[in-house]
Structure 1
Amino acid sequence: MSLRLNDTAPDFTAQTTQGPIRFHEWIGDSWAVLFSHPKDFTPVCTTELGYMAGIEKHFKERNTKLIGLSVDPVENHAKWAIDIQETQGHAVNYPMIGDTDLAVAKLYNMLPAEEPGTSDGRTAANNATVRSVFIIGPDKKIKLMLTYPMTTGRNFDEILRVLDSLQLTAKHKVATPANWKQGDDVIIAGSVSDDDAKKLFPDGWKAPRPYLRIVKQPR
């Protein structure tokens, strides 16, 4: 199936390193970051999982759960987690999905629906497209989708930045400009009329153009 932003994230049941889950139930009223990996014991993904383990506390502060996915079995994930901690210096405390039947990878359009077989005998090259990041809101809607090549490590600081933007703009009628980060000025959403903006932002705004209304970040 094809997925687009604001589609409902497909629900599924799966085995993880922390036991079985039903995805939507596991998310609950939190935000979630689902990030996938072509294969266990691969070098770039080892650094990624370790980095995410190191910054997981920042996601927790934002009411956001992390969950990894690989098509390899859960038992392999547990062994890989030892390597990750020893080489990257951080223990993986978030769950990792074992997707041996490729069901979740297909459900999220990371592999073709007609892809045959299971994880047995598959290589990282076979699974190159299983290397995506999804941010999912408490409403279970997909807020972000990114897919990276195998040779490029993901920038998870950027994922955290996007999450901050998503949470801010979900609460306030603003948008964030290029390279925005917490505390920077924001833009009044185009859907807000000037009359309504005066009520929402009584201190006024800067407007180098009528459509570009800049205000301080709401608190």
Structure 2
Amino acid sequence: MVNLGDVFPNFTANSTVGTIKLHTYLEDSWGVVFSHPADYTPVCTTELGRVAKLVPEFTKRNVKLMAISCDSVEDHHGWIKDIQSYNCLSGDFPFPIIADPDRDLAVTLGMIDPDEKTATGMPLTCRAVFIIGPDKKLKLSILYPATTGRNFDEILRVIDSLQLTAVKKVATPADWQQESHCMVLPSIPAEEAKKIFPEHKVHQVPSGKEYLRTTPVPK
């Protein structure tokens, strides 16, 4: 199991583009590693197609993608044809799919779904999402059950927040979108906040505590 702030395991695995070593593959980019219960499954087919269409958005954010599924590379190549057909995609598939038939990565990364198994009783992975920073540390993880497909627009939104808050002294509120107002960190004293965020606003609340401070997105 990988905890927030841990260096993400530098695993080596076979994939649809050959052998990959994670840290070498990511270089200085951000990374999204996302798992799938199995090849030739309906929800996974929609998810991989959606991510393929969003590749330009991830690239714009300096993010590299990598999927993991508990089947062989040969199965992955066959499945990619179905993914492309169903999602109206053409050309080369834009990111690698890792093979994990022995569930080694699924166990190492804590991705086993306790309720989902294959027809032969083998455990399936949940729909995990790991976002890795350029420092190779885990910045965010989300675990969905096998029955629930992911919202990749939300994952892009989260990346925007992570990349902003990594360099600016702000936090992002509920449902935050790019160009929306941010929250000034509570750890910043009032006088310092005036200097760093001259346009910030202090919101008055019944407690009288001046902890709700909003500011336009810092440039």
Same fold (TM over 0.5): yes
Partner residue, 2:107? 106
Give 1:157's aligned amino acid: D
Letter in 1 for 2:218: P
Instruction: Look up the match of 2:64.
Output: 65
CA contact (8 A) 1:39 1:124 kept: no
Read off the aligned partner of 1:67 and give its amino acid letter: M
- Between 31-40 and 19-28, the greater mean CA deviation after superposition: 19-28
Change in CA separation of 1:212 and 1:40 when aligned onto 2, cut-off 3 Å = same
Q: Does 1:167 align with 2:163?
A: yes
Distance in 2 (CA, whole Å) between partners of 1:36 and 1:204 is 40
Aligned to 1:83: 82
Partner Cα separation in structure 1 for residue 31 and residue 11 of structure 2? 14
> 1:79 aligns to what SS in structure 2?
helix
In 1, Cα distance between equivalents of 2:17 and 2:179: 36
Q: What is the match of residue 45 of structure 2? A: 46
Cα 1:127–1:159 change in 2 (3 A) is farther
Q: In the alignment, is residue 153 of structure 1 matched against residue 149 of structure 2?
A: yes
Displacement, 1:63? 0.2
- Partners of 1:198 and 1:48 lie apart in 2 by 44
TM-score, normalising length from structure 2? Answer: 0.90
Say if 2:126 and 2:146, in contact at 8 Å, map to a contact too. Answer: no
Q: Which amino acid aligns with 2:180?
A: D
**204-213 or 75-84, which deviates more:** 204-213
Q: State how far apart, in whole Å, the 1-side matches of 2:156 and 2:38 are.
A: 24
SS in structure 2 at match of 1:68: strand
- Say whether the 8 Å CA contact 1:8–1:140 is kept in structure 2: yes
Q: Aligned partners of 2:9, 2:120: CA distance in 1, in Å?
A: 24
1:56 maps to a residue whose letter is V
**Preserved CA contact (<8 Å) 1:206 1:215:** no
Q: Which range moves more in the overlay, 156-165 or 129-138?
A: 129-138
Q: Secondary structure at the match of 2:166?
A: helix
| Unmatched runs of 5 consecutive residues or more in structure 1 | 113-120
- The residue aligned with 2:98 is 97
| 3-state SS of 1:133 partner | strand
Partner letter of residue 66 of structure 1?
Answer: L
Change (3 A) 1:125 1:132: farther
> RMSD of the TM alignment (CA)?
1.9
Alpha-carbon displacement from aligned partner over 1:36-95 (angstroms, at most 9, x marks no partner): 001000000000000000011100000001100011011111111100000011353101
Query: More displaced, 197-206 or 52-61?
Result: 197-206
Say whether the 8 Å CA contact 1:39–1:127 is kept in structure 2: no
**Unpaired segments of 5 or more residues in structure 2?**
none
* Matching residue within 138, 146, 149 for 2:134: 138
CA positional deviation for 1:24: 1.1
2:172 is aligned to: 176
Moved more, 71-80 or 129-138: 129-138
1:35 to partner: Cα distance: 0.4
Identity %, equivalent residues: 48
Aligned to 1:118: none
